[in-house]
Chain A
Amino acid sequence: MTDGKAVSVKDTRFRTVDALLIALMVLPLAACLVLKILFTPEYEGVHISGALIYLQIDSFPVQPLLITESQVNSAGITLSILGLCLYLTHGLTVKAQTRRQLIAEWIVEKCRGLVDSNMGESWSGYAPFVAAIMGLSAFSSLSCLIGLFAPTGDVNVTAGWAVLVFFLVTWTKLRGGFLNYLRGFTEPVVFFTPMNFISEFSLPVSMAFRHYGNVMCGAVISALVGSALTGLSRMLLGWIPVIGELPLLTVGIPAVLSLYFDVFSGLMQAFIFAMLTMLNISNSFPAEAWEKRQKKKELRKMQKATVNG
């Protein structure tokens, strides 16, 4: 009796936590959607623009702080991902019993396998970072499926990620020593230094614009096709009373476009961004210089030991 009661209490607690976590997944996105609906003005004709500005604070240094859709949606997606992670890892057991545990293990093992095969076993500490990039990028791109503005369609967002990747690349390069890092710019000859600088700083720019451009162009094409189809249906069917008022031709075709631009292209860009991150970071590691330094360190240690001995 008591056992059954205890189990049922545990069960209800488990279920309650589950429900809360699902709410944590869904509510932030719903809140973003509500905010967007409240703030979106009426448009006439083709309207292509960036994120909506919700709040403007002018008293910030350098540039006024603008709270736009991309920031709000990013925060919502962050909370949603937090909820998803907690939900997937809620009630893990050594013997995998639930489907969500299988999914969680699949994600972890796939990410680790991807990092191991692309960067090498010694880089497996980057697996969570790669998983974070892929998850955030994919969720951001897919958020336009529920009608939100995709944060990846804002160049500032992808630029922020690319800058972080650039920091990581530079950090990895610095592991070979600061002088070695500086010397790397003069290779193969001093003449190439300006070009090396440009190629160094083009990495974050190219990564940011690749991702942003792909998502934004999808949105632009979707908007253009949508408005064109609206005009076409008004032209062809406008003479019919009542029905002529509805843009009937916009049913169907935009969905197919959305499937390509939002789903396929979004996931593809997430994958590409993650791949570029992995390759750039692992390629930037100065293996030779690092080995030399290790050898020097060991030699010095041995010399010290002999002097002391």
Chain B
Amino acid sequence: MQSLSIISVNLWHVLFALANLAIIYVIVRRFLFKPVNKVLDERRAEIDGIYAKAEKASAEAEESRLNYAAAMEAAEQTANQLIMEASRDAERRGNEIESEARSRAADIRRQAETDAMLERRKAEDDIRREIADVSTRLTGKLLEREISEADHRALIDSFLQEIGTENDTDK
């Protein structure tokens, strides 16, 4: 069997090689690049979808976090207000109680003073009556019937009255 010489040009061989490369190009494009590119595109679309989902989820989380923070702030404000109101209320109640107690104490004291004064008056009257009695009896004993008992008593009463008024003005 013959073989070609080491360098020989044959037009048909050149055309054959050209067609061969063109066929290989078609094969590589159709059977390697097309399916692989399709898969890569699908994967990119899937990744994009995942990214979009993740972004959406994070946005939602951020929104709910903001909502929560706002709710917390509102709750804190309410709590502060409640505390302030309560303390104001307590202060007011305390003041009320104190003033009531004070007024009551004053009432009691006034009552006590009045009572004491009445007692004293009574005591004074008693003493005066005692003295009048004693002095009547004494003077009666001393003067015997020189004077009527009624006149005498009137005299002494007026006298004692004078003393009493003097005492009162002294007071």
Residue among A60, A74, A132 making CB contact with B17, cutoff 8 Å = A74
Looking at the assembled complex, report how far the CB atom of A161 sits from the nearest CB atom of chain B, in whole angstroms.
Answer: 5
B150 within 8 A of A: no
* Interface contact B27-A78, CB-CB below 8 Å: yes
A68 within 8 A of B: yes
Residue of B nearest to A82 (CB): B27
* Interface contact A66-B4, CB-CB below 8 Å: yes
Instruction: Report chain B residues within 8 Å CB of A88.
Output: 32
Instruction: Report chain A residues within 8 Å CB of B10.
Output: 63, 66, 156
B169 within 8 A of A: no
Interface residues on A, range: 35 or more
Instruction: Report chain A residues within 8 Å CB of B9.
Output: 155-156, 159
- Mark interface residues in B5-45 (1 if CB within 8 Å of A CB, else 0): 11111111111111111111101110111011111101100
* Interface contact A74-B25, CB-CB below 8 Å: no
Q: Count contacts on B: residues with CB < 8 A to the other chain.
A: 40
Residue of B nearest to A165 (CB): B21
* Interface contact B35-A131, CB-CB below 8 Å: no
B148 within 8 A of A: no
Cα-based distance from A163 to B19 in the complex (angstroms): 11
* Interface contact B29-A49, CB-CB below 8 Å: no
Instruction: Report chain B residues within 8 Å CB of A109.
Output: 40
B167 within 8 A of A: no
* Interface contact A156-B43, CB-CB below 8 Å: no
Cα-based distance from A220 to B7 in the complex (angstroms): 12
Instruction: Report chain A residues within 8 Å CB of B8.
Output: 50, 155-156
Instruction: Report chain A residues within 8 Å CB of B19.
Output: 160
A interface list, Cβ under 8 A from B: 39-41, 48-54, 60, 62-63, 65-66, 68, 70-71, 74-75, 78, 81-82, 85-86, 88-89, 92-95, 101, 104-105, 107-109, 127-129, 131-133, 135-136, 151, 154-161, 163-164, 216, 220
